[in-house]
Chain A
Amino acid sequence: MQPLPVDNSPLPVGGAGLRELLFRPAGDTALDIFLGDRMDRALSDAVLAMAMRIQAAQMPGVVEAVPAFASLTVHYDPLVVSYEVLATRVRSLGHMPAASTPPRRWRVPVCYEGTGAPDLDHVAASVGLSRAEVITRHEAQSYHVYMLGFLPGFPYMGDLPTELRLPRRGSPRVAVPAGSVAIANAMTAVYPLNSPGGWHIIGVTPVQLFDPSRRSPSLFAPGDVVCFEAVTAFELGRLEYYAERGQWSLQPEPMDRSRIP
């Protein structure tokens, strides 16, 4: 196999977790760009900045740039642009985070009680905390949306406080209801749809994360900041009631309280 005639020499990089960019083809219609090999906020910022630059550049043949934790994949049409030309153009865009507008912040209401939190006791016992301590710690953190995947609109958010980290369930659930708030390893997430799932479910939110009829089908975007706020079962029911009737939907902060009936 011939080596590819692409310049893979190190680029000057900086910041925690960043390493030299590594380009490689993933089949003949995708270009993988690796910025590092671990989960890291600075690295994620660089990935997302690079994705935005690629999207903004509107290069011929580029279908979409898809960010992940420490890498970025550019889907392209090889009959419009070659791998070599694309890699060179992408490289010239750079990947250092630009001074940008502050990220959107969301405060997500979560009911950590009852049937919506089937794994809370197990999580508490496993990590040696009380239920209340698990909730307090989950709430106390601001989470960064690293990427969306697994299901439409499913946000991989981190980093979970170290004392709450557990591997996934031994056997995944066949059915996890939409709105379930879950944790696994260093991540927390909200299931946007009913689906099978292997994460520990510690709460439920009335927020609808994915709706293809919305102008932005996914509520969250990579780079957003998400906090959770405990609500009572009564409040959950009230918000669900209004959400189902289209009279309430989550807005980014500063939260417009007047929109809540």
Chain B
Amino acid sequence: MTAALRIIEPGLMTTVQDLGRPRFQSLGVPVSGALDTTALRAANIVVGNGQGTAAIEMMMLGPSIEVAADSVLVALAGAGAALDVSSSDGRRTIPTLRSVRLTRGDRVRCVGLDQAGVAYLAVGGGFDLAPVLGSRSTYVRAGLGGVDGRAIRVGDVLPLNELDAAKGVEGTGRGLDLARPSVLRVLAGEDGIDFSAEAVATFLGGRFVVSASADRMGLRLDGLRFDRAGAGEGLSEAIAPGAIQVPPDGQPILLRADRQTVGGYPRIAHVISADIPAAGRLRPGDAIRFAAVGLAEAVAARASLEQAIAQFGVRIDNRKGTPEIDDAALMAENLVSGVSMGDES
């Protein structure tokens, strides 16, 4: 008997993602990978996987899935997101960062993505999909990775590596903040020499709104336009993660996981690596501003995020019928986080 998940409804933009393929950029291959690597890693930790195991990424509207395996351990990660599970013995709601064992014929809907922005469904043992250039991440534009290099469709069958969840243990993760950000920390000035100090100061004082043009490649930011007079023009350079570029219309674009490897638009700032996962949660209509930090602070923030993930604990739910955890209470604990989510910086 094979083990798989069958897609009943695909959702809006549902793809398989892992941590991407960072070592082929000199061939023009985008890194891709999860928009929110922190949520991906957390989902994997909760089901007992390696942190970089490929999972299902979803935005706006999540998929509905039927279990075609004896059993499988799954968990959804995304602030406020939940699994709506229908099985022969009724219906349950499983909150974010909690793993649940599903059995053949169970149906699960991924819901509550409004708040999360992006969420990840991890399965114990991972999906039996072939890596392309070292990664299972889907890059739709070139048809690489995932399921035939495309977004997940109705009727897709995603084979599982493990026939059942015999080894899997249900548990609840705690201590990671996956909220959508209102502030992102950036390096600007040090690396923003494409622009004048005045332009950088204006950028840092500005309030932006994520426009409707938002996808895995980037987010257009409404609010302020930047005069590129004097900015370096035309000669393409390699693009770094978190780059905020300014195209000829002056409207900044925050580049994300599917960004091209090279580009000619000048960059006004870079979101620091500790906050790139949070930038992955942004969705159209979100208000966002940027706070400058130094390189040393950026690296310290990254170390702090890595520490938070390393300390992210999973409490085993060893009692049948454990009461549902109050998700809001869990989030409020917010034990450790290196990601600036509020206005504190």
What is A's interface to B at a CB cutoff of 8 Å?
1-2, 4, 24-30, 32, 37-39, 51, 63-73, 75, 78-79, 82-83, 147-154, 156, 193, 195, 210, 212, 217-218, 222
Contacts and interface: CB of A to CB of B under 8 A. Distances in A.
Contacts of B144: 152, 212
Q: Is the interface of A mostly helix, strand, loop or mixed?
A: loop
Given A26-B270, A28-B272, A73-B239, 6 more contacts: A29-B241, A73-B238, A75-B241, A149-B260, A152-B142, A222-B26
Contact of B236 (A64, A68, A82, A222): A68
Q: Is the interface of B mostly helix, strand, loop or mixed?
A: mixed
Given A25-B187, A66-B238, A212-B132, A79 B303 contact: yes
A217 B236 contact: no
A63 B267 CA distance: 22
B143 interface: yes
Contacts of B64: none
Nearest to B131: A212
A1 B26 CA distance: 32
B298 interface: yes
A71 B26 CA distance: 12
B77 interface: no
Given A156-B236, A217-B133, A28 B299 contact: yes
Given A28-B273, A150-B260, A217-B29, A79 B22 contact: no
Contacts of A66: 25-26, 238, 261-262
B241 A69 contact: no
Interface stretch (B79-87, B112-120, B188-196, B222-230): B188-196
B215 interface: no
B272 A27 contact: yes
A27 B243 contact: yes
Interface string B23-42: 11111111000000000000
B25 A24 contact: no
A32 B142 CA distance: 27
Interface in B82-99: none
Interface in B178-198: 187, 189-191, 193
Contacts of B303: 79
Nearest to A51: B26
Interface of B: 22-30, 132-133, 141-144, 187, 189-191, 193, 232, 235-243, 260-263, 267, 270-273, 292, 294-295, 298-299, 302-303, 306
Given A66-B25, A82-B299, A150-B262, A195 B270 contact: no
Given A27-B187, A27-B270, A82-B299, A1 B27 contact: no
Contacts of A69: 235-237
B237 A27 contact: no
Identify which of A148, A149, A150 gathers the most chain B CB atoms within 10 Å of its CB.
A149
A149 B236 contact: yes
B31 to A, nearest CB: 9
A44 B238 CA distance: 14
A27 B191 contact: yes
B298 A72 contact: no
Nearest to B31: A75
Contacts of A68: 235-238, 262
A29 B236 contact: no
A218 B29 CA distance: 10
A211 B29 CA distance: 11
A148 B240 contact: no
A64 to B, nearest CB: 5
A26 B266 CA distance: 12
A34 to B, nearest CB: 8
Identify which of B26, B267, B271, B302 gathers the most chain A CB atoms within 10 Å of its CB.
B26
B261 A26 contact: no
A151 B144 CA distance: 12
Nearest to B186: A27
B131 to A, nearest CB: 10
B302 A78 contact: yes
